[in-house]
Amino acid sequence: MTASTGAQTTSGVTTPTTDEPATAAPIPGWPDGVIIDFELEYDNRARWPHFPEYFRAWREGSARLRAAGGRLDVSYGPDPGQRVDLFGDGPTRLVFFHGGYWRALDKDDFSWVAGPLVAAGLSVAVVNYDLCPAVTLGRQVEQCREVIDWLARDSSGEQIVAGHSAGGHQVAMLLATDWAGRGHARDPIAGAISLSGLFELAPLARTAMNADLRIDDAVAAGLSPARLPRRSAAPLVLAVGEQESSEFHRQSAALARAWGEPDGVLSVAGANHFDVLDALTDLSGELWRRARARRHSSPDR
């Protein structure tokens, strides 16, 4: 859902800074000998200061959709944040995980994504999870696995998982999950879409937000999808906004390289970190064209 004011920004670049410790360990897959201002690169609200307009448009659109009906605030687990909203009754379900750097926003801000998708014949689940620092990143990832467990029991239809920003990280972690080991007779995921995802956590440990995220070397090693083997055969589409910072482009490129994604990364023309989400609701656009092509060409689907 696009805000009324267009983005006025340039693509992010790596920037020299004296703030980065000289002794900081190298980040796997990141350029050696290049000092990057991670605080600047990951501060999307500073990069697009009109971001409140996006948030307002999202909230207003979501309130309208929720007022029109759906199964709202359904519990899928024991924790207080484990709630999901279900819209539509199509046989194929899209499961959406919101962004907010694992520590902000709520499913109620993102109900709007369901409108065009339900109109196109999909059913949609918009997922909530508890936020950092109230829970750890590890527990948050497990909550997202638990909603897939729950949804697989709720319906026998195919599920496509999609996420934006931190939600894109959750999508990749789902593809790195041993679903057979969790008792699934078949892969519960039929396809995956990540918009502006985060797949190597070490750079985030070098930002102020890590006071909430608590990423250390062990967390980065265990919860960075770019360092983990892919366990699901579900086809994945990676996308990032053309106008996003160099770090966001680098994040998706790192996963594409690590997992051998044949189509690389889709750069969504003209999009920034916020309005890139509009691509998910444009079923005639390039994002969905790639998603359909990948599913049809997958030998396991």
pLDDT digits 0-9 by tens, 157-187: 899 999 999 999 999 999 999 999 999 999 9
**Domain ranges (residues) in the chain:** 38-297
More confident residue, 44 or 293: 44
pLDDT digits 0-9 by tens, 236-255: 999 999 999 999 999 999 99
The fraction of the chain above a pLDDT of 90, given in percent, is 83
pLDDT digits 0-9 by tens, 97-151: 999 999 999 999 999 999 999 999 999 999 999 999 999 999 999 999 999 999 9
Q: Which residue has the tokens 């690590």?
A: 258
Residue 193 and residue 161 in contact, taking contact as beta carbons nearer than 8 Å: yes
| pLDDT value for 7 | 37
**What's the pLDDT band for 300 if we cut at 50, 70, 90?**
low
Q: Within a 10 A sphere around the Cβ of 35, how many other Cβ atoms?
A: 15
pLDDT digits 0-9 by tens, 57-75: 999 999 999 999 999 999 9
pLDDT digits 0-9 by tens, 260-293: 998 999 999 999 999 999 999 999 999 999 999 8
The CATH code that applies to domain 38-297 is: 3.40.50.1820
More confident residue, 224 or 9: 224
DSSP 56-83: HHHHHHHHHHHHT--EEEEE-SSSTT-E
pLDDT at 221 exceeding the cut of 70:
yes
For 83, counting Cβ atoms within 10 Å of its Cβ (0-12 exposed, 13-18 middle, 19+ buried), the class is buried
The fraction of the chain above a pLDDT of 70, given in percent, is 90
pLDDT at 3 exceeding the cut of 90:
no
pTM confidence score: 0.90
CA distance 239 to 271: 10
| pLDDT value for 297 | 60
H/E element, 191:
strand 191-195
Nearest to 109 by CA among 286, 287, 274: 274
Q: Where are the alpha helices (DSSP H) in the chain?
A: 38-41, 44-47, 51-67, 114-119, 137-154, 166-175, 210-213, 217-223, 246-259, 286-297
- The DSSP code for 111 is G
| pLDDT value for 298 | 58
pLDDT digits 0-9 by tens, 138-149: 999 999 999 999
